[in-house]
Amino acid sequence: MNSIVTAFAKGIEKSGVKPSMICVPSDIPFEPEVVDFLGVDFFHTTRGRAIPFGTGLKLGNPALKVVPFIGDMMTLGGNHFVHGSRRNMELLVICINNFVYKKIGGQSVPKTAPAFSPYSTFDEPFNIPHLGNSCGALYTARWTALHIDELANSIAEALNKRGMSMIEILAPGPNYYTDIKHIESNVLNFYYENSVIKNNEDPRNVEITPEKKIVVGKFTDKERPTFLETYNTQLSSVLGDKFIPYGCVPPQNKSGGRNGGD
Amino acid sequence: MKTDPKGVLTGLHRLNGNHACAEGALAAGCRFLGGYPIVPALEIYERFLERAKQVGATFIQMEDEISALAAVLGASWTGKKTMTVTSGPGMSLMMEHLGLGVMLETPCVIVNIQRAGPSIGIPNRPSQGDMMQVRWGSHGDYEIIALCPSSPQEMFDCTIKAFNLSERYRIPVSVISDEYVAHLKEDVVIPPAEEIVVEPRRYYTGSKDNYLPFKRDKDFVPRMVNIGDGYRFHVTGLTHDDRGYPVMNEECQEYNVHPLVSKIRNYADEIIEIQEAEIDDAEIIIISYGATSRAALKAMEQARRSGIKVGSLKLVTVWPFPEKRVGELAKKVNAFVVPEMNFGQVVLEVERCSYGNTNVIFVPHGDKGVENTDDLLSAIKHATQEKSVRDGLIEYKQARE
């Protein structure tokens, strides 16, 4: 997690976005001091629901850059991810993938490949970049937590992307029956050494299986009008002058920055 | 504070309850609706969407009710007044985020047009079956505010009041109506914008470095800031301290959760609105809310004509429940008659608050439609024949031909 936060901080710096305009709805608790250090606003919400919460934040104030950090993305958050991608909401979804429910003992998740579990799992794991891409996300990438520079570049690019972006990060979390040093030295390096960078790889070929090396890289980067752009153009064309476009002008910062008039 | 005149459609209109609710929301300054369409709350949704485009408000149809309320909570933190509309099945899904809204102390309004349940039930039939759900549905300890309008005009007024209460107490407030009121068309007077009083959001005004998101005022309500203003705050649904940082121990649980309850209980007298009629000389009082209170008033008139001294107590605010007033009246009257379109929910509160001082007669009032006062009248007559206070709840058994 430390390396991800480092990469996030570097990414924010590179992107040129003001940290105060970034907000992070997340379903995983961060160390709260980290948030102060990054200078962002942070919401710890319910499991897997950071994308709809972020959708509300973005629509409430379209000038914000919303970066949902999600752990339970393919279980509780699966539907929200699919619909967020379909709508092309301007969110940068960071999916932290540690293959299991790490904090509560290592139960399997829909991201668990069969070999990661002592008795194996009985179903196929998700290929998240492929799912995101086929649902309409503009930007998909995957890195391990040790690819700090590459990850930071991806975050910087995606922060300036107009539309749904998704970065999957392979990261070991602390587990209550192993110590953190053990994880850092072994698992992190295991991911790093068993990965191969293939930028622009077709997302269909990047599923994680025990037989193959883990494919990391920036897979797709396309363009498409965002939800609010489509909303404004379509309603303007139907209603003409009667329609007041929404979110084109960032809310004025009056009297301590409140959205005046609302 | 005066409201934004853009959203106020001043004048006399003939509206159904749903349309009146949408107008009330816009008049109160609501500028964001996140929802998922459901019968019988559809017309609120449609009316809001139609008018939103012309007042600079926005809306989004989410993938389900869970995410609808999540989006509403998110948008509320950007400084907007926000609401969602739903019915029973959607309300069940929203319970997760009702809890989050209470814990993050996020102002927003949830309109629940009740329909017959459980589960899918009958989508276009009125019911009052969600009264306890809205109070106890989410896990953990909390207090909630719920308003029950009984006419389109009250729907308009209650929606504005709900927004004001939610800003004042920083809590999700429910307007909990039913299909009957929602689809009833009556005259609604929408006053000029300058006559509509709206509660402003209570903002923090100190320096940016010292902001604590959950530092409470004397009235237990913390001050808010808008996201993106550079306050660098952290809020969490975990048990937290003043800084909004999670703290996992008993002291903090008490420190965090007790004020969530106190901020409503201590101010219950300010929140509660009840309407009393013919109470002074009454021997029997009908306690009702929502659509059934219309039948209650009619039954009261008919009973008075036949010489029985009946009064009416109508609950506009059902939660928090007016315990004190019901307790006082229980000592004076011979019986409470409680009609409800369910199999006994708010009547349990009435019975609890009468402390065994009077008979409580429950009239399950769904079968024959809310306009029918026959059952109520026979229950009142039945009440006059009870000479002593009986133990427990008396359920009025309808005579079936």
Alpha-carbon dihedral angle through residues B154, B156, B162, B164, given to the nearest 10 degrees: -120
Residue A33 CA neighbour count, 13 Å, CB half: 1
Percent of chain B surpassing pLDDT 70 = 98
B81, B228, B238 member nearest A64 (Cβ): B228
Please answer yes or no on whether B227 and A56 come within 8 Å at the CB atom.
no
Assign B347 a pLDDT band (cuts: 50, 70, 90): very high
Rg (CA), chain A: 19
| ipTM for this model | 0.93
Distance (Å) from the alpha carbon of A246 to chain B's nearest alpha carbon: 6
Name the A residues in 10-39 with CB < 8 Å from any B CB: 20-21, 23, 25, 29-30, 32, 35-36, 39
- Coil, strand, or helix at residue A26? strand
Task: Name the pLDDT band for A252 (thresholds 50, 70, 90).
Answer: very low
What domain count does chain A have? Answer: 2
Distance from CA of A215 to the nearest CA of B (A): 32
Q: What is the helix (H) or strand (E) element at residue B70, kind and residue range?
A: helix B65-76
What is the residue type of A135? C
Between CA B68 and CA B61 the distance in angstroms is 7
Any chain A CB within 8 A of the CB of B77? Answer: yes
For chain A, give percent helix, strand, coil, nearest 5. Answer: 40, 20, 40
Q: At a CB cut-off of 8 Å and minimum separation 6, what does B253 contact?
A: B239
Cβ contact (<8 Å) for A23 and B227?
yes
**Which residue from B153, B148, B151 is spatially nearest to B189, judged by alpha carbons?**
B153
Of residues A184 and A207, more confidently modeled: A207
What's the Cα-to-Cα distance from A257 to each of B101, B225, B226, B269, rounded to whole Å? Answer: 23, 9, 8, 34
Residue ranges making up the domain that contains A98:
2-224
Instruction: Give kind and range of the element (H or E) at residue B263.
Output: helix B250-265
Whether the predicted pLDDT of A200 surpasses 60: yes
Say what the pLDDT of residue B277 is.
Answer: 94
Residue A176: other Cβ atoms inside 10 A: 10
Average pLDDT score over residue span B74-84: 96
Report the alpha-carbon distance of residue B253 to residue B246 in Å, rounded. Answer: 10
- Looking at CA atoms only, how far is residue B319 from chain A in angstroms? 25
pLDDT at B226 over 60: yes
Q: Do A52 and B238 touch (CB under 8 A)?
A: no
- Give residue-wise pLDDT tens across range A135-172: 999 999 999 988 999 999 999 999 999 999 999 998 87
Chain B residue at shortest CA distance from A37 = B232
Confidence of residue B219 (pLDDT cuts 50, 70, 90): confident
Question: Within this chain, do residues A241 and A112 fall inside the same structural domain, yes or no?
Answer: no
User: Do B226 and A61 count as a contact with CB atoms less than 8 A apart?
Assistant: yes
Q: Which of chain B's residues have a Cβ under 8 Å away from the Cβ of A234?
A: none
* Least confident stretch, A31-35, B51-55, B62-66, B358-362: A31-35
| pTM of the entire predicted model | 0.93
> What DSSP string describes B99-110?
HHHHHTT--EEE
Give the closest-approach CA distance of B143 to chain A in angstroms: 20
Tracing tokens 């047009």 back to the chain, one arrives at B113
As a whole number of angstroms, the distance between CA B20 and CA B157 comes to 9
Is the Cβ pair B78, A257 closer than 8 Å? no
A191 in the same domain as A235: no
The two three-digit tokens of residue B293, written as one number: 């209170």
Which has the minimum average pLDDT: B171-185, B310-324, B365-379?
B365-379
Residue B360, strand partner residues: B336
Q: Identify all chain B residues contacting A44, using CB atoms and an 8 Å cutoff.
A: 234-238, 246
Q: Is A186 in the same domain as A255? A: no
B70 to chain A: closest CA residue: A53
Cβ–Cβ pairs < 8 A, chains A and B: 170
User: In this structure, are A247 and A188 located in the same domain?
Assistant: no
Q: What pLDDT is stored for residue A123 in this prediction?
A: 79
Instruction: Please give the Cα distance from B52 to B57 (Å, whole number).
Output: 5
Are B228 and A20 in contact (CB < 8 Å)? Answer: yes
Cα–Cα distance, B134 to B101 (Å, whole number): 13
Indicate whether A114 and A186 sit together in one domain: yes
Residues A199 and A245 in one domain: no
CA-wise closest residue to B154 among B393, B332, B316: B316
Measured in angstroms, the CA of A244 and the nearest CA of chain B are apart by 5
- Chain B contact for A43, CB < 8 A? yes
Residues 138..197 of A with a Cβ closer than 8 Å to B: which?
none
Q: Verify whether the Cβ–Cβ distance B233 to A61 is below 8 Å.
A: no
Which range, of A37-41, B112-116, B259-263, B284-288, averages the lowest pLDDT?
A37-41
Question: A211 and A239, same structural domain?
Answer: no
Question: Is the CB of A79 less than 8 angstroms away from the CB of B68?
Answer: no
Q: Chain B contact for A42, CB < 8 A?
A: yes
**Together in a domain, A152 and A208:** yes
> Between the CA atoms of A251, A254, A260 and B1, what dihedral angle is there, to the nearest 10 degrees?
170
Contacts of B60 in chain A (CB under 8 A): 55, 59, 227
Q: Which residue of B has its CA nearest to A260?
A: B79
Domain containing A62 — which CATH number? 3.40.50.970
3-state secondary structure of B87: coil
Kindly state the average pLDDT of the residues B314-330.
96
Structure confidence at residue A180 as a pLDDT band (50, 70, 90): low
pLDDT digits (tens, 9 = 90+) for A63-75: 999 999 998 888 8
Task: Give CA B394 to chain center in angstroms.
Answer: 27
| Cα angle A202, A208, A211; round to 5 | 110
Nearest residue of B to residue A66 by CA position?
B228
| Same-domain pairing of A7 and A80 | yes
Give me the domains of chain B, ranges plus CATH numbers. Answer: 5-195 (3.40.50.970), 275-395 (3.40.50.920)
What is the secondary structure of A235-255 as a DSSP string? HHHHHGGG----SSSPPPEEG
Q: Do A114 and A190 belong together in one domain? A: yes
Q: CB A55 to CB B60 under 8 A?
A: yes
Instruction: Please report where in the chains the tokens 């969110």 appear, as a residue.
Output: A91
Check residue B266 and give its pLDDT. Answer: 95
Is A129 found in the same domain as A87? Answer: yes
Contact B287/B313 with Cβ under 8 angstroms?
yes
Contact B81 A61 (CB under 8 A): no
Say yes or no for a CB contact (<8 Å) between A64 and B70: no
Q: Do B56 and A246 touch (CB under 8 A)?
A: yes
Taking CA–CA distances from B80, the nearest residue in chain A reads A262
Widest Cα–Cα separation across chain B: 73
What confidence category does residue B59 fall into, taking pLDDT thresholds of 50, 70 and 90? Answer: very high
Mean per-residue pLDDT, A177-187:
60
Q: What is the DSSP secondary-structure string of A116-131?
A: GSTT--SSPPP-HHHH
Q: Shortest CB distance from B227 goes to which of A44, A46, A64?
A: A64
Q: Do B75 and A25 touch (CB under 8 A)?
A: no
- Residues facing B2 on adjacent strands: B197
**Which candidate, A62, A90, A247, A257, places its Cα nearest to that of B231?**
A257
Q: A138 and A195: one domain? A: yes
Gap between the Cα atoms of B40 and B19, Å rounded: 12
pLDDT value, residue A256: 41
Task: Specify the 3-state DSSP secondary structure of A84.
Answer: helix
What does the mean pLDDT of chain A come to?
84
Given a cut of 50, whether residue A255 has pLDDT beyond it is no
Residue A39, pLDDT above cutoff 80: yes
Q: Do B79 and A45 touch (CB under 8 A)?
A: no
At A16-26, the pLDDT tens digits run: 999 999 999 99
Scanning A46-75 for CB atoms below 8 A from B yields 46, 49, 51-61, 63-64
Residue of B54, B58, B73 with shortest CB distance to A242: B54
* Gap between the Cα atoms of B264 and B164, Å rounded: 14
